[in-house]
Structure 1
């Protein structure tokens, strides 16, 4: 049998070495997005309750951080057929960040917390997995230290100049997840959408809330024809403390985050306005941040001076493109006098709603 045709696990009467065993168990794990090595597994932490593998400052900031228990996968990198190591931190571990490598007096540095896998088969001094701190070098603009060998990054810690303790704000989460073959992969907020994958691969983007599936070379909604909804307002909007007069008034905003596929947007803006006169004309516009209109409606105050206006329009949003929409009211038709104020922040009076339909 050629070296590249490995012994199956577990095969009676055959010699199954450690590489064979790791390759056999790696069959059950999610594939790495690496077209150059189709037998590689994805390195990461197995998702679960209790934030597995999270690196945290102590409740009273000290020189230490703690690492929550976790299980995970570290893909071997020393040979193409190194296989996947299945690792476990069985209980919470405390790590001293500053005793062995104190803070610099002038400049910050970056330390990494990693799960390091060693293997004497590849020339290491020991066998095992160790969760440890790798100290970086202080600099005006510090960079993370280089970690060699097989490892799983857990966190980056900024060690401030003269720091005597590590706080929550010093810790940046670097964890990534992995799942069993065919499982839905939680994509962490600091990760980019994988450039490569396999047809039918599923993932859930924690940053955008998108459920995606790999189709040929692109990512598409996991449910064909899936529709998204945004609005009626971003945090802090709508505004109701001002009014349009000599200048217009922007009173609402909704952000449509980017998606890896194009979408047709149905944009509906609604407002209830109090105007100073019955015969004044007002323009109600939904527009981009640069002022480009997406939809326009015109209204008059009417006998009571209170009017509800709805402005609706469509816009094609290309893939990988975010969009910020605003609602705006201004004098129209050459009017030079009068004021209009937004009646209420309640969504049934004032709202900007966007329905996003995936398109081919």
Structure 2
């Protein structure tokens, strides 16, 4: 079998239907818009994600016979209350702790240098003076770069404040109208698509179930892990508890890698504050228990209905999307990997099911689509 024959059979298998070609064009256009217009349309995409998260609460209220507009108002007011709490209570606290941590970094560095000196004098054959000087030089360069980044951030603070104001005004407005006029907006988008869209419907049901479960589950996981970490650190009187708790909470977005990265600042702050003592060991043990319970209890409970992604796929997704979009690529790496997995899983099945369903009546196919959605 020649390469041309193999390629032709592959095309016929996946793109023999015009609906598959239209779906491919829609996906390419969507990813192109995100890549080239992502920075410009960032408030819109942010509002879209938030509305997607809040839609579950609106649907839960409407199922309890609450009028749609009243349900939207209740959920929106709850969202605004959380947003104001974050903007005026949590964010200033985290910012003050971050400034304090940056100011105390030279003292932490000096303490670490004294510890290395003591270690080198105690074990001269284990650590040579050249190795110690090399480590100190690397740490000094990192500290100087951190100071330069902090200075650059302070100089650009005016632009950041303006962007924050734009987000605080535009995003809530967009979220409200996306929730209120959801049926109209979805109807408008569907009117642009061909009337025959059985394959798109199947793939949408697959992706919607996977991504909705993942995003909502991750949101709950961040809140639980961050709250438990905050109360744990506060119990041990660890400095910068709120800042470290936020870091630990967001570390669950990147499995395996996030937990390892969050361990370094927790261990550094605990070591500087307590020294090599029993309290330092207790903090690390408590942090390890939090990570173990998250990985073995909380995460399986929250994502029991979501197909697991192989660790290799997670690491590749973080590297790939992080290389393209930086922080936001890392932030959304797992949802994007989930989307691609659902797409790959549903596309061949949708084509086969569509071919098998051509001999069935339309009510039968609609009923099967509804069953697949459930």
TM-score range, shorter chain: under 0.3
Structure ranking higher in helix proportion: 2
Structure ranking higher in strand proportion: 1
Q: Which has the larger radius of gyration?
A: 1
- TM-score, L = length of structure 2: 0.17
- Greater RCO structure (CA 8 Å; 6+ sep): 2
